[in-house]
Amino acid sequence: MPRFSIFMMGVLLTAALDPAKGQDILVYRLSLTTSIDTDVVRVIDRAIQAAERRGSALVLDFGVSGGDYQTANEAVQMLGEAAIPTHAFVCDRALGVSAMLALAADSVFMCPDAVLGGADGVAAEEVSAYGAHLQRLMTARRLDRNVGLAMADGSVQISGLAPGRGGPLILDAVLASQMGVTAATVQNFDSLLALLELDEAQVIDADHDWNGTRAEIRNYNWGDVRVYVLRSGTRMRLGTVTSMNSSDFEIADGQLGIGSQIQLLAEVIGSSERFLSQQVQVQPGLVLHLDVANVIQQSAFSYYRRN
């Protein structure tokens, strides 16, 4: 269900991420080019979480047909619960369940030659549920719910469209605009950012960002701790985690170097107490996890690689 107007999205991001306050304006961009499956949904979930942590917008860049309906349904729910503005950018195609995913974003933008809709790849036994879901999404947008149903069922007639279209409804940019499905037609990604007044934003390529290293810190110590990554004896400060709180820190692999050896260091502020982890080799998708104990030498460190 849309939760922000385009104008308010720009105002929200500009006000909340004012560069004058020392923060960059950020936009996460996630390119979807393979059919929607469990792995894709996992990446969407991570993108939403990263955008929420850093107070940025998320743009889903669609160029995909089909996927698993039940799995895509999970991603639709994630988008509905996202605490940041989400935009669907369709410059190629969003067909089948990827259309459902696009319509779950706060706003939809299409390039002139793009298409959206249809039931590509939807299993016959799921077409009815798929159509009902599209109807709900259209209703949430205060649009003709039958447009959603027609994307699943080619026999459904839509006012203003000639009958006998030969299959489930697929909208081009002109039809999508006429029906109110899209917020605007744009020429490319840069023009989308300009329209949202985010052309000065730093764009983070979310599908590559997941190759970086994440440090998950849970501080159960009575004192606040400063956290560092050590590489070849050099400290890289990640940040401060206050007592009885937690923080996650993302580190680009370019800052560490694939194959290098690193350690996590946590120091209690105002004390000589410190915890230094074992060495770990940097590899794509590395996650470092540290539970800082009140007796700091009893802290628990672990690591794993994201799938």
Q: Label each residue of 242-282 as H, E or C.
A: CCCCEEEEEECHHHHCCCCEEEEEEEECCCCCEEECCCEEC
In what helix (H) or strand (E) does residue 110 lie, and over which residues does it extend? strand 107-110
Cβ neighbours of 157 (radius 10 Å): 14
Of 100, 241, 72, residue with least CA distance to 168: 100
pLDDT at 207: 65
74: left (phi over 0), alpha (psi -120 to 50) or beta: alpha
Tokens encoding 170: 């697929």
State how far the Cα of 211 lies from the Cα of 220, in Å rounded to an integer: 28
The pLDDT of 12-20, averaged and rounded, is 39
Cite the beta strand spans of the chain per DSSP E: 26-32, 57-65, 86-95, 107-110, 115-117, 170-172, 184-185, 202-205, 213-219, 225-231, 234-241, 246-251, 261-268, 274-276, 280-281, 286-292, 300-305
Q: Where in the chain is the domain with CATH 2.60.40?
A: 212-305
Q: Where in the chain is the domain with CATH 3.90.226.10?
A: 6-207
> For the chain, what is the largest distance between any 2 Cα atoms, rounded to a whole number of angstroms?
78
- Tell me, what DSSP letter sits at residue 126? G
pLDDT > 70? residue 19:
no
Tell me which amino acid residue 36 is: I
Q: What is the pLDDT of residues 147-176, one digit of tens each?
A: 999 999 988 888 777 655 668 999 999 999
The rounded radius of gyration (Å) of the Cα atoms in the chain is 23
**Verdict on whether the full-model pTM lies above 0.75:** no
pLDDT at 225: 97
Q: What is the pLDDT of residues 50-64, one digit of tens each?
A: 888 777 899 999 998
State how far the Cα of 300 lies from the Cα of 297, in Å rounded to an integer: 9
Fold of the 6-207 domain: 2-enoyl-CoA Hydratase; Chain A, domain 1 (3.90.226)
pLDDT at 49: 84
State how far the Cα of 215 lies from the Cα of 40, in Å rounded to an integer: 22
- Residues 263, 229 contacting (CB under 8 angstroms): yes
Angle at 167 between CA 161 and CA 171, to 5 degrees: 55
Q: Phi/psi of residue 240, each to 5°?
A: -110, 140
Beta bridge partners of 229: 236, 264
Q: Which CATH number fits domain 212-305: 2.40.50, 3.40.1360, 2.60.120, 2.60.40?
A: 2.60.40
Q: What is the pLDDT of residues 270-304, one digit of tens each?
A: 999 999 999 999 887 888 999 999 999 999 999 98
The pLDDT of 101-111, averaged and rounded, is 96
